[in-house]
Amino acid sequence: MMKEIDDRLLLLFDMDGVILSEEGYLRSVALTMHSFIAQFFSQTHNHKSSLSGHESIDNLQAVEVLRQTIFPDKLMNAMRMKALNSNWDKAYAGTVLLGLCARDHRFSENIGDMLYDQFQTLSGTGQELVMRLRDMESKLCLYPISEYPTQLFEEVKRRFQQFYLGTIKTDNLFLQDGMIAHETLLCNHDALIQCFRSLRDKDIVLGIGTGRPRSEVIKPLNSFGLLEFFDENRICTFDDIVDYEQQYGLPAYSLAKPHPHTYASIAFSYRAHQVVVIGDSPADLLAAQAAGFHFVGIGPNREAFQAKLTEDFIVIPEATEISAILEQFRHKTC
């Protein structure tokens, strides 16, 4: 028996860079990369870099200085342009690049510039690029990579989660709180509540498609009073993707963005032209296009999405402005 088609609009939001600031995750990327410096470069350098050790990183200003040094905006944006949407992938890419610099006996206090230049030489996008990085990793005979009980990616992921959630073993009280303690909304809170309430009153269905683990979706949405606006059956997280991959014997992370699964899996009972994806990255755009959905970008301009001039989508500065442009999607669904 065929499922009944829902004739309402379905809006599927990414989380980071759309609803929540991604600074907490980006700081965790920097802290993760930073945690490898002493181990990598102690084998190839006699000096102790001022970047090694995390004892002095005891406030947001200090961690932001670190981020701009080791994971500057230009490196972060370059990774996004190559569809490295997952922050674990970003941290892994940065860590492998650090390993390459250590192997080649190259170090600078402006290490972020070196990593950016090195990253720009890499070809491929998305998971193809991640696999290229794994191939590069396998050729590194650098302590401690060869001594991990699991792949380097899993070690990077473990450290990232420790810095984000505050589970790292340290006397540093700031790091014990974790970067999750400093989550912020990208929009004015009252304006966002009003926007979501207005959409709900118009019988528009809201969902979430994100690479975050489910607990890191539910907790902040609940704390900001936003969870009630989203259909619980229209939330796809990293955990859901992993469950599906394991159930059907698919390679790990093969269904992550820019694959359309994150959004397509929660658009059941909707025709493609009734679905609008709201995202901030090229990976979101590619996922929406692959599923045949409409796309609205959050950002300063179209260039942020590396889109072709012929591609039909709108860019708005923040999520609260989505209501003003919905009428044209209503016309397209008729």
Q: Is 208 strand, coil or helix?
A: strand
With 0-12 / 13-18 / 19 or more C-beta atoms within 10 angstroms meaning exposed / middle / buried, residue 156 is buried
Structure tokens at 223: 């704390």
- The winner for highest mean pLDDT among 28-37, 48-57, 167-176, 298-307 is 28-37
DSSP state of 243: H
Is the residue at 1 inside a domain?
no
Q: Taking the C-alpha atoms of 86, 92, 96 and 98 in order, what is their torsion angle to the nearest 10 degrees?
A: 100
Query: Comparing C-alpha atoms, which of 286, 251, 12, 266 is closest to residue 126?
Result: 286
Boundary-marking domain end, from 182, 200, 233: 182
Distance (Å, rounded) from C-alpha 141 to C-alpha 204?
A: 54
Separation CA 237–CA 210 (nearest Å): 5
Task: Kindly state whether residues 129 and 238 are assigned to the same domain.
Answer: no
Please indicate, yes or no, if residue 4 is contained in any of the structural domains.
no
138 and 37 in a common domain: yes
Same domain, 56 and 94: yes
Residues 197 and 321 in one domain: yes
Q: What is the pLDDT of residue 135?
A: 85
How many domains, in total, are found in the chain? 2
State the pTM of this model.
0.88
CATH label of the domain that carries residue 319: 3.40.50.1000
Residue 289 domain-assigned (yes or no) = yes
> For 36-44, what is the mean pLDDT?
75
Report the pLDDT value the prediction gives residue 1, as an integer from 0 to 100: 42
Domain match, 34 and 157 both? yes
Condensed to tens digits (0 to 9), the pLDDT of residues 174-228 reads: 999 999 999 999 999 999 999 999 999 999 999 999 999 999 999 999 999 999 9
Residue 2 lies in a domain: no
Q: Is residue 275 part of a domain?
A: yes
Q: Are 175 and 202 contacting, i.e. CB atoms less than 8 angstroms apart?
A: no
102 and 175 co-located in one domain: yes
> What integer pLDDT is reported at residue 23 of this predicted model?
94
| Same domain as 188, residue 169 | no
Residue 242 resides in a domain = yes
pLDDT at position 47 is 45
**Domain with 281 in it:** 10-20+184-333
**Which of 182, 205, 235 is where one domain is finished?**
182
Name the burial class of residue 286, with classes exposed (0-12), middle (13-18) and buried (19+) by CB atoms within 10 angstroms of its CB: buried
- Same domain, residue pair 56 and 176: yes
In a domain, 158, yes or no: yes
Examine the pLDDT at 238 and tell me if it is beyond 50. Answer: yes
Q: Are residues 23 and 9 in contact, defined by beta-carbon separation less than 8 angstroms?
A: no
Taking Cα atoms as reference points, which of 90, 51, 89, 17 lies closest to residue 279?
A: 17
Closest CA to 213 of 317, 97, 88, 297: 88
**Start-to-end Cα distance in the chain:** 25
Choose one of 182, 215, 245: the last residue of a domain. 182
Q: Rounded distance, CA 167 to CA 153, Å? A: 19
Let me know if residue 313 belongs to a domain.
yes
Same domain for 110 and 154, yes or no, is yes
What is the bridge-based pairing of β-strands 235-236 and 314-316? Answer: unpaired
- Percentage of residues of the chain with pLDDT beyond 90: 67
Sequence-ordered strand ranges (E) for the chain: 10-13, 205-209, 235-236, 275-279, 294-298, 314-316
Whether 156 and 212 share a structural domain: no
99 and 71 co-located in one domain: yes
Residue 189 and residue 165 in one domain: no
Angle between helices 152-165 and 23-34 (to 10 degrees): 130
